[in-house]
Chains A and B, each alone.
Chain A
């Protein structure tokens, strides 16, 4: 049973739609993501998102394995895609 403060931290891919749109040049929330660990498939909009952190982390809804990580620095945005079926971001990000 999660405590209230934990609930507030847990959002979903919808909350990250703007950041992903900037990176990919298009809305990504309907793109299907497959967890590389357990095989669960969810649209990116439905992935669990942790946004109160030094970066953004999208995780599998079934096993919490990392699927996408995003870090914004003043000079660039870095993206690490660990899930399957998700296109790599365009180069130059």
Chain B
């Protein structure tokens, strides 16, 4: 489907802290088009003297929420853009965006399932769009999220994931790699083949996998999923820089 990508001016209508270092911005778009979960928008910030910086952010919200998109931004220490988005931007501010972009790392109900989502840190953002859409569209194919975070406090969307669990057979497994709270019953180590086998085996042979996070995690998980038996063409990956791209 050919469509020219044009820049448009988005308005921030809501700001929601998710964790200490992560915040979601809701952007109202005058020229909103339904995105496919997994797609992203490019944003462009321009200073008075013309200096511009551009970044990409995955859409966190489901396409069923029309007219606006959520982007979830993680603070990069000494970053150029994320501290601006987290510390300076207020409701009512506007900046240029372009999108939705991407056709490879996307999933929606029409693609089918079962679905295995593997997230590292802020890599959970595009996968959350997939899960929110799955719930809104009442997709019944089974789905599982394996979510790797450093600590419990760094889990993004925790309460919402708790609510989604069980709906239409969604299961969520967490692995906390740096520190686990007392009584923790989830995994407590970096993703490895054994963990991937645990989470993928119940989903059967037709499973589609989407892996998103820092490059090192994506490579370990994608290679591991192949080793435990998933065909390479049923594994899609998206490497994130420290915050989106």
Interface residues of A (CB under 8 A from B): 2, 7-8, 10-15, 17-18, 21-22, 25-30, 43-46, 51
Contacts and interface: CB of A to CB of B under 8 A. Distances in A.
Interface residues of B, number: 25
B216 A27 contact: no
A22 B44 CA distance: 15
A18 B5 contact: yes
A10 B4 contact: no
Contact of A45 (B42, B104, B245): B104
A21 B105 contact: no
Contacts of B92: none
B82 interface: no
A17 B40 CA distance: 9
Contact of B98 (A2, A15, A18, A25): A18
A29 B239 contact: no
Nearest to B212: A14
Contacts of B101: 17-18, 21, 27
A12 B99 CA distance: 18
Given A10-B215, A12-B237, A46-B236, A27 B4 contact: no
A21 B236 CA distance: 20
Contact of B99 (A13, A18, A45): A18
Contacts of A12: 237-239
